[in-house]
Structures are given as structure tokens and as C-alpha cells.
Structure 1
Amino acid sequence: MAQTVPQYTNMSNIPTPLLSRASNEKMMLMQVLVGIFLYVNCLMICTFFKKEAFRTDTRYILFAQTLIADSALMVFTDIAFFANYFQIPVPCIPCVIMCTIMAWLTISTPLTLVAMCLERYVAICMPLRHASISTTRTRLLGLVLIWCLAGIPALIVFLIFAVSVPLKFFSSYLICSLEMMIIHNWQAQFRAVLFQFYFLIMSITIGFTYVKIMAAAKGASSNKTSASKGLRTVVLHAFQLLLCLIQLLCPYVEMAVMKIDYMLFLNVRYSNFILFVLAPRCLSPLIYGLRDEKFVVVLRYYAVFGLNKKSFHFCKLCPYHLKHGKTWPLKGKQKFWMS
């Protein structure tokens, strides 16, 4: 008989500890942080859909996909974490569906980060070919490829789980967590190897784009400012990717800690959620939202519900005025970037 991984997610035989006031305060703090994260993301998503100039630009499309995937993952993860923290049993089938979606979304963000680095590489190192490469068809194929690659590990885990458990298991109630679907030791090892392969390829790709953009920044290019900014963007994406990699290793640490002490397990899981789930996904709004001059102008407009209209009129072809926050007079049939 195959050896199975200990299931710490189904803890019906473990007495639920009385949560202290400090534990409840930590949960409240986490909910506040998640609420702020979701508010900022929703504001940026609305900003993206409001302006056609963003909806036709590859970098902003990938940015919006990251925001949507991260927001959905945050909602599902927060629900699962809340139920797990307070030991609330849920039906098996909704739990399996939610865990499969979370596994899918978890990989989609790193893959999108790699795609964003490749887009910056093409824009900076091959500016004359950027328009021909970044077409509607290419963008659509890229998005489909990202979601297909992200779905492979989640689909494999789901299929192995579905054929490994008896049918009556699907009518049971359990404490929901991603590790609930890991039945066999070899399944956990296979998933770890698959994740390592994914991140090896992604790390090599990001390293390649970093080297190429760094060469463009040091070369005799007239666009050194853009190259330097792209270099910083790739570095931040690499840091995000590292945090995402650590996130995938957290369940193995938590399973080991669970065998030692239950309250220590709760504290470790809480810290992992803040550092390796919430933190790396807060970097995306910073990298492509607040650091982007074009995007932050429109974001500021919608953040105050359109009350500050004076700073909203910027010319499409005038980066000086966009950078320094000066208005541009309306003349004739001139089309504005913000209109």
C-alpha cells in the first residue's frame, strides 16, 4: 500500500485550542491588510478598464492580469486561512474546487511576471520590432499559454487526488487547505520537482532578460533612462519570484512544525501568509502602478472620484508635462491621451 502524507488539514481528532486575544488581534490585522490590498487592486483594475490606452498595451494587460489573479487568490486564500485558523469544517467538494483554483492562481502570477520581463526585454532591446511582436494575436496566445502552463500542476494534483480517495470521502467535512489534496508521499515529491522545474525555467528567463537589459543600459543607447527603469523592474520581479518560490515551500515547513506544537504551527502559518502570500502580491501595484507615470496620473484621478480634474488633462505626446504635472491647453481637435 502506498505511503501517505500525514494530513494536518483534517484535525477533527485534535482539540481546538482557545484562541487568545493576541491571536484574534492578529487575525483582525490580517483582515485589515487584505482589505487594503483588495481596495488598491480593485482601484487599479478599474483604472485599467476605464482607459483604452491601457487596454491596448501589452505591459498593462499583463499587469491587469496579475492584479485580477492576485485579488482572486487573496480572496480564496483568506477564506481558507480564516476557516483553517478557527478550525471550521467545510464540505469536501467546495474545498477541492477552491484548492484547485488556488493552486492554479498561485502559479499564474510567477508566469505572468516572467512574461512582463520578456515584454520589457523586447521593448528595450528590440524597440523597432516591439510593435510587430506585441500584437493582439501574440497577446492572446501569451495569455492562453500562461493559463495553460499554470493549470498543469493544479490539474495533475486534482486528478491524482480524485482517483486516490474513495467516493464517500467527497461527502465528508474537513478543514480546508491545499495540502489536503496531497495523498501520497510520491505525489508531494512529484509536485515539488515540478515546481522546481518551473522556477528554474522562470529564473533562467528572468536572468536572461536582466543581463540583456543591463547591457542595453550600459551601451551607447539613447534610451538609457528607459533601460535603467526596466532593469529595476526586472530586479523587483526577480524578488517577487523568490518570495513566490518560498511560498511553495511553506507547506512542508508547516507540516513539520505541526508535529511539534499546534500553536507554533498557527503562528508560523500566520507569518508565512503575511510574508510570502500577501507581501509579494503587494509589490505588483508598486512596480507597475505607483512607479508608472502614465498609470499613476489616471489612478490619482479615480482615487479622488474625479474631483481633481485639473491634473487630469495631459497631452498624449508631451512626456514633459506628464512628468512634471503641468496642464496642457485644449486646442482645436487635439486628442488627449487621457480623453
Structure 2
Amino acid sequence: MADNDSAAGGESLRWQFSDRVLIVQFLVMIFLCINFLLIVTIFSKVYFYTTMRYILFAVTLLSDSLILLMSDSLLILSYFGFTMQIGLCVIIYIILVLFTFVTPVTLTAMTVERYVAICMPLRHGELCSTHSTLHCILIIHGLSSVPIIVILSVFFASAPQSLFTQYSICSMDKFVFLRWQDNVKLGVYQCYFLIMSATIIFAYIEIMKVAKDASREDKKSTWKGLRTVLLHGFQLLLCLIQLWCPFIETAVLRINFRLFIDVRYFNYIMFFLSPRCLSPLIYGLRDEKFVLALKHNVPFGFHCVKNNVQISFV
């Protein structure tokens, strides 16, 4: 009887997991289609791909799309029990962690760009030129690669050589053997969290000062920039909470496996997918120029947007 109950519970859990996998596929397909449309729109106009904020916007879209595609592929492979060589899993892990950091670091750079535009308008053209943007992208990827270098250095120092030729389901917990390794990873994540949070708060305070002192004509545009920074802060918070999710899931796994499945699914939807649907809202539908360009790339449904709606971005 107990065996039958256990089998029924396992079957129920598998059906529940199947439903969740299907829901994730649906959400990922929607986000990928939206991101593809926005990327095409950015590269359809010279103004967009020569302006810093749109170039950085494109970086976040490309980074998010790659993460969604790779993480969803790992989810499907894991669901069907597909195994791969640990060496290949290491390569996938490097790409995932790198671009997991690229998005929040780019959001921080976009906040700094808004700070320069509002608080240092006379130097905005010089500091945020196309040439400076290319250097900024290199710096973003350089900063984003530091965590993976630290994590893999610790991993390679403790992993046996025979591990890399073994076959297993590719999971991120394969790269943590000892408790202190978790502590090192958590320390790196917290360091990035503090630096990026401090940057957002500093930009918000400085823009707030300008908003209070601005003339009536400039006050409207300044407050729009302030709202953009707030949205960046919220999006960045969700991205940074995502960095803590593995530690929360590890703690829950020690308590109950079914609870671990529920928590992991919630974290994926709330802190992994949600931040990646905010970028189109912040830098897409709030920008009048971008909306006008987007109309020409949407095959249906978008032309019903009311012409008298004033959508602008600062």
C-alpha cells in the first residue's frame, strides 16, 4: 500500500512538473519573440544603433535571449534525463554565469548614462558617444567575467581530473563540492550586489536633486528620467535576487525535495523570467521614437495604439 502511495505521489509530481515545463516553454517563446522584434527594430534605424542607451538596450536583449535559450534547453535536457560530459557542462556554465551578470551590469551602466544625461548634460555627447559605448560594452563583459573566473578557479582547484570526462545531467550544483566554495560564491555575488545597488542609489539621489532645482520646462523630463532610474532599480533588484536563489534552493533541498521543486519553479518565474520582460517595457513602449519604429515591424495588432497617447523617454 505504501509503495502504491509512493508511486502515485511520484507520478503526480511528474505530471505537475510536465505542466510547469510546458508553461515555461510558452513564456520563453513569448519573451524570445518580443526580444527578437525589439532587436530587429533597433538595427532598423541608424539613430538607434548609434545611440548609447539603445545600444546598451540591445546588449540586454541579446544577453537575456541567450540566457533564456540556454537555460530552457538545459531544463528540457534535464526533464528527459539527457546526460552530457562534465567538460561540456563547464562551457555552458561559463556562458550562463557570464551573461547572468551582463544584464545587471548593463542595467547599472544604463542608469549611469541617465545620470550623465540629466546631471551632466553638457558632457553627455562626449561621454556617451558611440566610441565610448563600445568601450563601455567591453568593460561590462570584463566586469561580468570576474565572478565566473573566481568560481571556476575554486572549482578547478578542488575538482579531480577524472570528473571532466564523466557523464551527468548538467546542473549548476555540479560545480560546488565544499561548503566554503558556496561561501566564496556568495561573497562575490554580495560584492556585486552592493556595488550595483550603491550606484543606483547614488544616481537616484543626484537626479532627485536636479529634479528639485529644475525649471518648470525641465522638471517634466527630469522626473521621467527619475522614474526610469526607479524602474531600473526594481529590475536590477529582481536580477540580483536571482543571484541568491541557488543558495536558498540549496538550503530548502536539505529540508524537503518537493518544496525544493516548488521554490525552484517560483524563483525561475519570479526572478529569472520577470526581469527579462521588464526591459521591453522600460526601453520599448515608453519611448516615442522606438514605438514609431516598432509599428513598422509588427505585422498585426500594434497599429491600434492611439495616436494621442504621448509616450516619451528621457
Question: What percentage of aligned pairs have identical amino acids?
Answer: 46
- Letter in structure 2 aligned against 1:271: F
- Letter in structure 2 aligned against 1:211: I
Structure-1 separation of matches of 2:184 and 2:62: 29
Deviation for aligned residue 1:284: 0.8
Query: Does structure 2 retain, via aligned residues, the 8 Å contact 1:38–1:71?
Result: yes
Runs of 4+ deviating beyond 6 Å? 305-308
| Residue 257 of structure 1: aligned partner | 252
| Residue 246 of structure 1: aligned partner | 241
Corresponding position: 1:96 with 2:90: yes
Query: Does structure 1 retain, via aligned residues, the 8 Å contact 2:48–2:55?
Result: yes
Give per-residue Cα distances to partners, 1:82-117, cap 9 Å, x unaligned: 333454322212211111111111111111011000
Query: Does structure 1 retain, via aligned residues, the 8 Å contact 2:295–2:302?
Result: no
Deviation for aligned residue 1:63: 0.4
| Residue 336 of structure 1: aligned partner | none
Structure-1 separation of matches of 2:171 and 2:302: 44
| Residue 160 of structure 2: aligned partner | 166
| Residue 287 of structure 1: aligned partner | 282
> Which deviates more from structure 2 when the two are superposed, residues 260-269 or residues 126-135?
260-269
Structure-1 separation of matches of 2:169 and 2:80: 9
| TM-score (normalizing by structure 1) | 0.83
Corresponding position: 1:141 with 2:135: yes
**Over aligned residue pairs, what C-alpha RMSD do you find?**
2.4
Deviation for aligned residue 1:178: 2.0
- Letter in structure 2 aligned against 1:125: C
| Residue 45 of structure 1: aligned partner | 39
In structure 2, the gaps of 5 or more residues are 1-8
- Letter in structure 1 aligned against 2:15: R
Structure-1 separation of matches of 2:263 and 2:172: 16
| Residue 234 of structure 1: aligned partner | 229
- Letter in structure 2 aligned against 1:80: L
Corresponding position: 1:26 with 2:20: yes
Deviation for aligned residue 1:322: 9.7
Of 62, 71, 74, the residue aligned with 1:68 is: 62
Structure-2 separation of matches of 1:159 and 1:218: 48
Structure-2 separation of matches of 1:226 and 1:220: 10
1:79-228 equivalences under 5 Å are: 79-221=73-215, 222-228=217-223
Corresponding position: 1:57 with 2:51: yes
Corresponding position: 1:301 with 2:301: no
Deviation for aligned residue 1:17: 4.4
Give per-residue Cα distances to partners, 1:9-40, cap 9 Å, x unaligned: xxxxxxx9444433212211111001000000
Deviation for aligned residue 1:230: 0.9
Give per-residue Cα distances to partners, 1:205-257, cap 9 Å, x unaligned: 11111011112222233322221111111111111121112111111121122
Query: Does structure 1 retain, via aligned residues, the 8 Å contact 2:239–2:271?
Result: yes
Classify the secondary structure of the residue corresponding to 1:140. Answer: helix
Q: Are the structure 2 counterparts of residues 262 and 99 from structure 1 closer, same or farther at C-alpha, using a change threshold of 3 Å?
A: same
Higher helix share: 2
Deviation for aligned residue 1:155: 1.6
> Which deviates more from structure 2 when the two are superposed, residues 158-167 or residues 33-42?
158-167
Structure-2 separation of matches of 1:84 and 1:160: 25
Query: Does structure 2 retain, via aligned residues, the 8 Å contact 1:301–1:307?
Result: no
Q: Are the structure 2 counterparts of residues 307 and 70 from structure 1 closer, same or farther at C-alpha, using a change threshold of 3 Å?
A: closer
